[in-house]
Structure 1
């Protein structure tokens, strides 16, 4: 848990120089190129049967997705046709969302998703119907200057991925917003640190209405504390919530 918090805090505090960003992008580009030597007959090696949960704890797709590099935030499409995850450079100066697709020939080699690779993108999460992918990014609303981390979403279509769009106000605040998770009714759960937070980082809920999202509110004391609460996953029917807690009292 502490390691996860460390990565989150690093991303929030770090202001990568252009040199580090170029090194990070170069690292990911080189890693993708190395993956492309895989032959078609090897595409299924290391991939578990997604519809058959393992009976014991095991590494996911060793050598194909899981490796000694920094991978995190895996998202599997509801139809099990696409896997997305975050790949970060060794110093966490750059992060991109990687994509693996399944076809009749098997799983493709990992590639940077078409909508990612220029700015720091991380924490992909599908909507329960698979039509949208939500993620956190420091990409600017316009121009080339990076900003704080906002929540974005990109439509998934028959032709591929559409154009990313910022969730805007009132969801995104003046600080960083991370770890989106969607319920089937459109309600959004995410992590932020705001004036009304109970602790260092809290889990917030923004309710979907006919006119868009309501102003986010922190979940109650049954979830949030004076410590850290983050990386929430909400079930499609909102019957349960899974999250990470750190430095919680008691």
Structure 2
């Protein structure tokens, strides 16, 4: 029989080892985050001196949909670029977009369905509320948009919805009684229509939390947040699903991804190893000496408008899954 003092010593030893492992694990995470190298995605084709954000890559990796917008999000339309060989082609307007304020494109990762949100008119729905729409596609041919059925749509706006492989929808919204100003929600799939939104309370803060994207295996959830402790604006975070089914404490993705400006709209490639996001980081704010120089500055990619970035997160994926 082990004596009580011996048990206590063993307990202290285990605690010390656990604490040491935790420090080492955090140090390893810091190194991984510091090694991330985001870059402009398809510069001068997708990422330009115009206002682009909110992207989605098709499962086959050959279509890239994103948003082109006017200043201050006053109007936006959905455009698409096709990959030929290793080169992304000049974007074109999606056939159903342009007339109304459309945003938040999303290719389902396991079907030929394309999703987006829009302020296009809906009977008995207040003007200005974004509703979630779906449209089937076959190759380059897109069908007619239809409202996503069920309670995902209602008297609340739907912000940046993404669809998990089990067909559940993760999205952000402003719903009375929730935790913060903008919060994360889940609407579960049902054959008769999506169920009423459920707040993901363990991730929401009293600030703004938005733009959720869940990995295909359901173990990681990326989102953006204005919570305290960040770099000053919306920062990208990731949370790991715990054994009890709850989401773990969010991890800020660090200053190689985030900036003092807006970093948002995280989207994963089909294999989960590439993260796409939107940002207006790295603006060229140096003084200008004349009017021509000012015009030239406005023509550059880093002119203060949003752009789309991509980054390889293979090592981060492996670490988070091992830790979780």
After TM superposition, is the score higher than 0.5?
yes
- Cα deviation for residue 249 of structure 1 reads 8.2
- Does 1:66 pair with 2:47? yes
Contact 1:87 1:96 in 2 (8 A): yes
Structure exhibiting the larger radius of gyration computed from Cα positions: 2
| Partner SS, residue 134 of structure 2 | strand
In the other structure, the counterpart of 1:137 is: 118
- Cα deviation for residue 247 of structure 1 reads 3.4
- Does 1:163 pair with 2:114? no
State how 1:105-124 maps to structure 2 within 5 Å: 107-124=88-105
Structure 1 Cα separation of the partners of residues 47 and 65 of structure 2: 12
Larger RCO of the pair (alpha carbons < 8 Å, separation 6+): 2
Identify unmatched segments of 5+ residues in structure 2.
1-34, 231-324
Specify which of 58, 64, 74 is matched with residue 83 of structure 1: 64
State how 1:142-157 maps to structure 2 within 5 Å: 146-157=127-138
Contact 1:77 1:130 in 2 (8 A): no
Q: Matched residue pairs, number?
A: 195
Contact 1:228 1:248 in 2 (8 A): no
Identify unmatched segments of 5+ residues in structure 1.
1-53
In the other structure, the counterpart of 2:200 is: 219
Summarize the Cα distance change of 1:158–1:249 in structure 2 as closer, same or farther, 3 Å threshold: closer
| Partner SS, residue 71 of structure 2 | coil
Structure 2 Cα separation of the partners of residues 59 and 93 of structure 1: 24
In the other structure, the counterpart of 2:216 is: 236
Summarize the Cα distance change of 1:127–1:173 in structure 2 as closer, same or farther, 3 Å threshold: same
Structure 1 Cα separation of the partners of residues 81 and 108 of structure 2: 18
Contact 1:79 1:130 in 2 (8 A): no
State how 1:19-34 maps to structure 2 within 5 Å: none
Question: In the TM superposition, what whole-angstrom CA distance separates every residue of 1:49-86 from its partner, at most 9, and x where no partner exists?
Answer: xxxxx973211111111112111011110101111000
RMSD across aligned positions (CA): 2.5
Summarize the Cα distance change of 1:109–1:191 in structure 2 as closer, same or farther, 3 Å threshold: same
Structure 2 Cα separation of the partners of residues 98 and 60 of structure 1: 15
| Partner SS, residue 204 of structure 1 | strand
Mean Cα deviation higher: 156-165 or 102-111 = 102-111
| Partner SS, residue 73 of structure 2 | coil
In the other structure, the counterpart of 2:168 is: 187
Summarize the Cα distance change of 1:56–1:159 in structure 2 as closer, same or farther, 3 Å threshold: closer
Structure 2 Cα separation of the partners of residues 105 and 58 of structure 1: 16
Instruction: Give the TM-score of the pair, scaled to structure 1.
Output: 0.71
- Cα deviation for residue 91 of structure 1 reads 4.1
- Cα deviation for residue 168 of structure 1 reads 4.3
Instruction: Give the TM-score of the pair, scaled to structure 2.
Output: 0.56
- Cα deviation for residue 95 of structure 1 reads 0.4
- Cα deviation for residue 108 of structure 1 reads 3.1
